[in-house]
Amino acid sequence: MSAVETAVRPAVVRPDRAADTGTSRARIGRGFQHGGWFIAPFLALFALFVVLPVGRGIWLSFTDANISGADTHFVGLDNYTEAFRDPLMWESLGHSAYFTLLVVPCIVVAAFLMAMLAHHIDHAKWLWRLCFFAPFLLPSAVVGNLWQWLFNPGTGMVNHVLGLDTPWLTEKSTAMIAVVIATLWWTVGFSFLLYLAALQSIPHHLYEAAALDGANAWRRMVHITLPMLRTITGLVITLQVLASLQVFDQVVVMYDFGSGPEDSTRTYVQYALEEGFTSYRVGYASAISNIFFVIIAVLSLGRMWLLRKREEGVR
């Protein structure tokens, strides 16, 4: 047989390979079918407690539903139109954004410094880590009541230790700052734990090589530690921004379920709750909540897009 005939001769699929391919596909199909039973309970609970409530909330936002559920009528986009023209909604959104701008940088810096201290300290490391992380385990009601007492102008420890006479919870200028301080003390432990884990994953030979080249501690931190922590810093910022925009628990507890002096601490989530369960306007509260969901989703997707662009730039 010539070389040309051999080259143009069509390939023949061996029966054993075809059988193996069919068997592999059948095996994969059976594996997927069996795996579906393992995730079925989660899917059922997810649909029951997430998908259905979200769908119900979207539907209610197009109605004039009240808390009793009676005499509900379809009103189209009226709730959304009213929401965009509502000054209280924009004011509460501004309070949430102001709180976020105050607390996020403080948490990032404090968590990094605490992680550096706990990572480099030689004695009683477990005690430092426990002290830094323990407040994060407290319930929000405990934290709110604790700091409400600490900020009391007459008997509170804050004014007594600092030698001040500041009405933290009754003045508009300091009301949100008090919430920021309480939140920082309460939630910094989570970011501290992330930074500590990231610090422990940095190869030690990088610091040894830099020290042999004559780099001091400051240069090692600037040129090794901070660049290696860039990814975890982006994660911490993203998580804290999303959590801070949804601030609610500690605010309402510290101000006895009120909105602070001159409504200076009424956050977006609190305003939506008031509209739904105080004014009984469930449809309007659902519209406000859906707008807030879109804002959160846009921020999350924007962060993912920036991260992907940065990774593509590095490549």
Q: Domain check: are 13 and 110 in the same one? A: no
Q: Domain check: are 241 and 109 in the same one? A: yes
pTM of the model: 0.83
Q: Domain check: are 295 and 194 in the same one? A: yes
Q: Domain check: are 144 and 13 in the same one? A: no
Q: Domain check: are 41 and 184 in the same one? A: no
In a domain, 74, yes or no: no
The tens digit of pLDDT for each residue in 39-81 reads 888 889 999 999 999 999 999 999 988 887 677 889 989 999 9
Q: Domain check: are 54 and 156 in the same one? A: no
Amino acid at site 237: I
Q: Domain check: are 196 and 283 in the same one? A: yes
| Average pLDDT across the chain, whole number | 86
Find the Cα–Cα–Cα–Cα dihedral 139, 141, 143, 149, rounded to 10°. Answer: -160
Q: Domain check: are 45 and 135 in the same one? A: no
The residue segments making up the domain with residue 22 are 3-60
Geometric angle at alpha carbon 270, from 267 and 275, rounded to 5° = 125
Q: Domain check: are 19 and 132 in the same one? A: no
In a domain, 56, yes or no: yes
The tens digit of pLDDT for each residue in 142-179 reads 999 999 999 988 888 888 888 888 889 989 989 999 99
The tens digit of pLDDT for each residue in 88-141 reads 999 999 999 999 999 999 999 999 999 999 988 888 888 889 999 999 999 999
**Number of folded domains that form the chain:** 2
- The answer to whether residues 93 and 268 touch, using CB atoms and an 8 Å cutoff, is yes
**What contacts 93, CB < 8 A, 6 or more positions away?**
268, 292
Which residue intervals of 123-171 are DSSP H helices? Answer: 125-133, 140-150, 157-162
In a domain, 108, yes or no: yes
